[in-house]
Amino acid sequence: MGYKPSPRPVFDRPTHIPYAGVTRHLWGEENAGLVDDWIYASTESIHQIVFGMQPGGCFKHTEAFRTIFGADEVLYVLSGTLGLANPETGEFCIAREGEALFFRKDTWHHGFNLGNEQLRVLEFFAPPPAKGTSGPYARTKPYLEIEQSRYGQSEFIGRWPMEAEAQRKARTIQPMRDADLLWSLDQQTQGAYTGLYCATDQLTVGKTTLLAGKRTGIERHKGDECLYVVSGTLNIHVPEAEGQVWFELNPRDGFYIPAGTDHQYFNMSGERVEFVFGVAPDF
- CATH code of the domain occupying 15-176: 2.60.120.10
Task: Tell which wins on pLDDT, 234 or 31.
Answer: 234
Confidence of residue 31 (pLDDT cuts 50, 70, 90): low
Q: Which of 35-39, 100-104, 156-160, 223-227 has the lowest mean pLDDT?
A: 35-39
Global confidence as pTM: 0.95
Distance of CA 191 to the CA centre of its chain: 25
Question: Which tens digits make up the pLDDT trace of 247-265?
Answer: 999 999 999 999 999 999 9
Distance of CA 29 to the CA centre of its chain: 22
**Mean local confidence (pLDDT), 32-44:** 88
3-state SS, the chain, equals CCCCCCCCCCCCCCEEECHHHCEEEEEEECCCEEEEEEEEEECCCCEEEEEEECCCCEECCCCCCCCCCCCEEEEEEEECEEEEECCCCCCEEEEECCCEEEECCCCCCEEEECCCCCEEEEEEEECCHHHCCCHHHHCCCCCCCHHHCCCCCHHHCCCCCCCHHHHHHCCCEEEECHHHCEEEECCCCCCEEEEEEEECCCCEEEEEEECCCCECCCECCCCEEEEEEEECCEEEECCCCCCCCEEEECCCCEEEECCCCCEEEECCCCCCEEEEEEEECCC
Confidence of residue 34 (pLDDT cuts 50, 70, 90): confident
What pLDDT score was predicted for residue 32? Answer: 58
Contact indicator for 237, 263 with CB cutoff of 8 Å: yes
What pLDDT score was predicted for residue 190? Answer: 98
Same fold, 15-176 and 178-280: yes
CATH number assigned to the domain with residue range 178-280, chosen from the 4 options 3.40.50.150, 2.60.120.10, 2.60.40.1730, 3.40.50.2300? 2.60.120.10
Each domain of the chain, given as residue ranges in start order, spans 15-176, 178-280
What pLDDT score was predicted for residue 64? Answer: 87
